[in-house]
Amino acid sequence: MPDSVVDVCDLSKSYIDGTEQVRVLSNLSFSITHRQSMALMGPSGSGKSTLINILSGIEPADDGDIRLFGESASNQDAAGWSELRGKRIATVFQDDNLMPTLSLGDNIRLRAQLAGKTNVDVEHWLNILGLAKLGHRFPNQVSGGQRQRAALAMAFAMQPGLLLADEPTASLDGATALQVADVLFHHQHETGCPMLLSTHDPALAARCDDILALASLARADIPADRSGTPGDGSDGGQ
Amino acid sequence: MNLTSALLSHYRRHPWQLLALLLILIVATALWSGVWQLSQQARASFTSNDAALQERFSVVREDASPVTVKDFVTLRRLGFCVSPQLTVERPAPKGRVIGIDALSLRCFSDVPQESPSGNSGAFVDIGEAEKLAAGQWPTRLTLFAPREYSDLPSAYRIASLFSGVGAGQLADSFLLNLDALCALVLLISALLVRSVFLLGLAQREASLALLNRFGVTPGRLQFHLIIELAVLSAIGGGLGLVFGQVLANGFGQGFDQALSGLFGVRLYAQQTTWWTWLAPLLVLILVMIWAVADRVLFAKLKTNYRLLVLVASAVLVIGVGSSLLSASLAWQFVAIGLTLAGFGWLTVLLLPWLLNQLAKTCTQPLTGWSWRELAVMIRQLSLPLMALQFAAATVIAVHALVGTFENTFYDWLDQRLQGDVYLQAPPDLDLTSANATLTSLDSVKASHGVLRGEAQTSYGSVEITAVDPASPLLQPWTFLASTQETPGDVWRAVAAGEILINEQLARREQLTVGEQLTFDIGQSRQSPYTGTIAGIYADYGRPASEVLISQQLWPPEAPYSSLSFSIRLASGGIQAFQQQIEQAWRSPGLTIRDNSEIRTLAVTIFDQTFALTRAISALTLALAGFALLLMALTMFGARKQYYQKLQLWGMQKRHVKLWLMRHSTLLTGTVGVTALPLGSFLTWVLVARINPLAFGWTLPMAMFPVFWLVILGLCLTIGLILASLLAPQIALKAGRRG
Buried residues in B497-512 as b, exposed as e (16+ CB within 10 A) = ebbbbbbbbbbbbebe
User: What percent of chain B clears pLDDT 70, i.e. is strictly above it?
Assistant: 83
CB nearest A113 (choices: B365, B645, B648): B365
pLDDT for residue B664 is more than 90? yes
Distances from the Cα of B674 to the Cαs of B385, B519, B681, in angstroms? 11, 51, 11
Closest residue of chain A to B377, computed from CA coordinates: A101
B160 touches chain A (CB under 8 A): no
* Over residues B657-675, mean pLDDT: 94
B737 Cβ under 8 Å from any chain A Cβ: yes
In three-state secondary structure terms, B477 is coil
Say if residue B429's pLDDT is above 60.
Answer: yes
**Among A110, A136, A167, the residue to mutate for chain B (most B Cβ within 10 A):** A110
**SS3 string of B574-607?**
HHHHHHHHHHHCCCCCCEEEEHHHHHHHHHHHHH
- C-beta atoms surrounding A229 within 10 Å: 11
In chain A, which residues have their Cβ closer than 8 Å to the Cβ of B368? 102, 106
Q: Is B299 exposed, middle or buried (0-12, 13-18, 19+ CB in 10 A)?
A: exposed
Q: Any idea what DSSP says for residue B99?
A: E
- pLDDT bin (cut points 50, 70, 90) of residue B609 is low
CB contact under 8 A, A44 and B652: no
Q: How far is A54 from chain B (nearest CA, A)?
A: 9
> Is the CB of residue B638 less than 8 Å away from at least one CB of chain A?
no
A80 touches chain B (CB under 8 A): no
Query: How far is the C-alpha of A122 from the C-alpha of B399, rounded, in Å?
Result: 54
Cα(B438)–Cα(B433) distance, rounded to whole angstroms? 9
Q: Is the ipTM of this complex over 0.95?
A: no
Would you give the distance in Å from CA B108 to the centre of its chain?
A: 35
Of B650, B733, B734, the CB nearest to A114: B650
Query: Of the candidates A91, A99, A109, which has its C-beta nearest B642's C-beta?
Result: A99
A 114-133 residues with CB below 8 A of B?
114-115
pLDDT at B13: 80
Once rounded to an integer, what is the mean pLDDT over residues B677-695? 86
Contact A15 B737 (CB under 8 A): yes
Cα torsion angle, A105, A109, A110, A112, sign: positive
How far away is chain A from the Cα of B378, in angstroms, using its nearest Cα?
Answer: 14
DSSP letter assigned to residue A228? S
Instruction: Write out chain A's pLDDT in tens, 238 residues.
Output: 457 899 999 999 988 777 777 888 888 999 999 999 999 998 888 889 899 999 999 888 999 999 999 889 888 888 899 999 999 999 998 887 899 999 999 999 999 999 988 888 999 999 988 888 899 999 999 998 899 989 999 999 999 999 999 998 888 888 888 888 998 999 899 989 999 999 999 999 999 999 998 876 654 444 444 333 233 222 333 3
Determine the Cα–Cα distance for residues B174 and B42; give it in Å rounded to an integer: 10
Nearest CA-CA distance, residue A15 and chain B, Å: 9
- Subunit contact B738:A101, Cβ cutoff 8 A: no
Once rounded to an integer, what is the mean pLDDT over residues B170-191? 72
For residue A70, which of A29, A32, A27, A28 has the smallest C-alpha distance?
A32
Residues B733, A59: C-beta atoms closer than 8 Å: yes
Chain B: closest CA distance from residue A109 (Å): 6
Judged by a CB distance cut-off of 8 A, whether residue A48 touches chain B is yes
What is the pLDDT at residue B120?
A: 42
Residue B295 — pLDDT band, cuts 50, 70, 90? low
| CB contacts, 8 Å: A109 with chain B | 365
Q: Do A49 and B366 touch (CB under 8 A)?
A: no
Q: Provide the shortest C-alpha distance from residue A104 to chain B (in Å).
A: 11
How sure is the predictor about B165, in pLDDT bands with cuts at 50, 70 and 90? very low
pLDDT bracket for residue B697 (50, 70, 90): confident
For the stretch B553-575, pLDDT in tens is 888 777 777 888 888 888 778 88
By mean pLDDT, which of A11-15, B180-184, B491-495, B621-625 is the weakest? Answer: B180-184
Tell me the H-state helices in B636-727. Answer: 640-648, 653-684, 691-695, 705-726
- Residue B197's nearest CA partner among B630, B621, B641 is B630
Region B366-387 average pLDDT: 92
- The mean pLDDT of B52-73, rounded to a whole number, is 68
For the segment B169-184, the average pLDDT, to the nearest whole number, is 67
Residue B377 contacts A, CB cutoff 8 Å: no
What's the rounded Cα separation, in Å, for the pair A176 and B358?
35
pLDDT band at B385 (very low <50, low <70, confident <90, very high): very high
**Helical H segments across B49-166, by residue range:** 50-53, 69-77, 126-133
- Mark which residues 189-208 of A lie under 8 Å from B by CB: none
For residue A140, the tally of other CB atoms under 10 A from its CB is: 9
User: Which one is predicted more confidently, B474 or B106?
Assistant: B474
**Virtual CA dihedral for B358, B364, B366, B367, nearest 10 degrees?**
-30
